A = this chain, B = another copy of it.
Amino acid sequence: MKKTLIVGTVAYDEIETPTDSSGKILGGAGTYIGLSASIFNINPSIVSIVGGDFEQKYLDLLISKGIDVSSIEVVSKGKTFYWKGKYHKDWNKRDTLNTQLNVLADFNPTLNKDEKESEIVVLGNLHPLVQSTVLNQIESKNRCVILDTMNFWMDNALEELHNVISRVDIIIINDEEALQLSGKDTLFAAAQEIMSYGPAYIVIKKGEHGAMLFGKTEFFTVPAYPVHKVKDPTGAGDCFAGGFAGFLAQCEEVNFQNLKTAVVHGTINASFCVEGFGTSSIQNLNKEKAEKRFKEFKNYTRY
């Protein structure tokens, strides 16, 4: 089992969908990645920052999943990062109604001795400079660094983003963002271009249409697990990254065979995520339920 480190937001979310409204609930990329990865019983650490308003019960929830929260800094006088978003009937369209960085504005992550030896490092969606700060502290030689990012950083911190991309092993990105980042007009060309920046592998997420995994000379494509009813897509991409990283953390080796299975586990965990509101579904997931769906999915995709 590989020591796993996750850096990402631990936050408050407020989510509106055409049928539901969440009120203020637990959210954040670090939270979703951590919950998703934790089903593999790998005891990941989350490095993050919250305010004094962050409820202990949410930290207790993470702890109950075997997650090490000792590097989630609590700024007692500060307020937790807050995001409010609204989905439309077409789940692919989302409006951000409100973003309050709060304590995240001064987030300067510091890893403890154990965390510096992490072999699986997930750089969740955050400012690329914060991602780089974490990467600078990693001392393990045999490490696999997985980067998740989004178009916001392409628009606002492209140079810093390119810098951190050049230093990671695997990048996870969605289809539109891959085209934007590479300036290419097909996903194949985009994948080759982005790998030329440094990463040995790229995972392109296509939402309800599945995912693709590219290596320099290898390729894998998989449809999405067919969810009958989407309730809330929030965190799906993070749960993908968490399932992907969590599975890899249990593997002896990071090779293409294992990466393919990791992509499928990402898909499976994301499918659970969207079936519930906020973290409700992913926090009730366990390895047995995920394995059961993995087998069902294998049956759905085998010919």
Q: Is residue A231 contacting chain B, with contact meaning CB distance below 8 A?
A: no
A277 to B228, CA, bound (A): 37
A226 to B210, CA, bound (A): 13
Interchain CB contact under 8 A, B186 and A220: no
Interchain CB contact under 8 A, A209 and B209: yes
Q: Is residue A77 contacting chain B, with contact meaning CB distance below 8 A?
A: no
Q: Is residue A145 contacting chain B, with contact meaning CB distance below 8 A?
A: no
Interchain CB contact under 8 A, B229 and A303: no
Tell me the A241-277 residues at the B interface (CB within 8 Å).
260-261, 263-264
Q: Is residue A107 contacting chain B, with contact meaning CB distance below 8 A?
A: no
With A206-B209, A264-B303, A303-B260 known as contacts, the answer to whether A226 contacts B219 (CB < 8 A) is yes
Most buried by B among A188, A228, A303: A303
A301 to B301, CA, bound (A): 8
Task: Note all chain B residues with C-beta closer than 8 A to A209.
Answer: 206, 209-210, 223
With A206-B209, A221-B223 known as contacts, the answer to whether A228 contacts B303 (CB < 8 A) is no
Interchain CB contact under 8 A, A223 and B222: yes
Checking B187, B206, B221, B226 against A301 with a beta-carbon cut-off of 8 angstroms, the contacting residue is B221
A201 nearest CB across to chain B (Å) = 15
Contact count band on A:
20 to 34
With A209-B210, A264-B303, A303-B261 known as contacts, the answer to whether A223 contacts B226 (CB < 8 A) is no
Protomer copies: 2
Interchain CB contact under 8 A, B186 and A229: yes
A68 nearest CB across to chain B (Å) = 30
Q: Kindly report which residue of chain B lies nearest to residue A89, judged by CB atoms.
A: B185
Tell me the A278-303 residues at the B interface (CB within 8 Å).
298, 300-301, 303
Task: Note all chain B residues with C-beta closer than 8 A to A264.
Answer: 303
Task: Note all chain B residues with C-beta closer than 8 A to A72.
Answer: none
With A209-B206, A209-B210, A260-B303 known as contacts, the answer to whether A226 contacts B221 (CB < 8 A) is yes
Q: Kindly report which residue of chain B lies nearest to residue A207, judged by CB atoms.
A: B209
Q: Kindly report which residue of chain B lies nearest to residue A210, judged by CB atoms.
A: B223
A179 nearest CB across to chain B (Å) = 12
Beyond the given pairs A221-B226, A260-B303, 17 more chain A to chain B contacts, judged by CB atoms under 8 angstroms and listed by A's residue number, are A186-B228, A186-B229, A187-B226, A188-B228, A206-B209, A209-B209, A209-B223, A210-B223, A220-B300, A220-B301, A220-B303, A221-B300, A221-B301, A223-B223, A261-B303, A263-B303, A301-B301
Q: List 8 A-B contacts (CB under 8 A).
A: A209-B209, A209-B210, A212-B226, A219-B226, A221-B226, A263-B303, A298-B303, A301-B301
Residues of A at under 8 Å CB distance from B? 186-188, 206, 209-210, 212, 219-223, 226, 228-229, 260-261, 263-264, 298, 300-301, 303
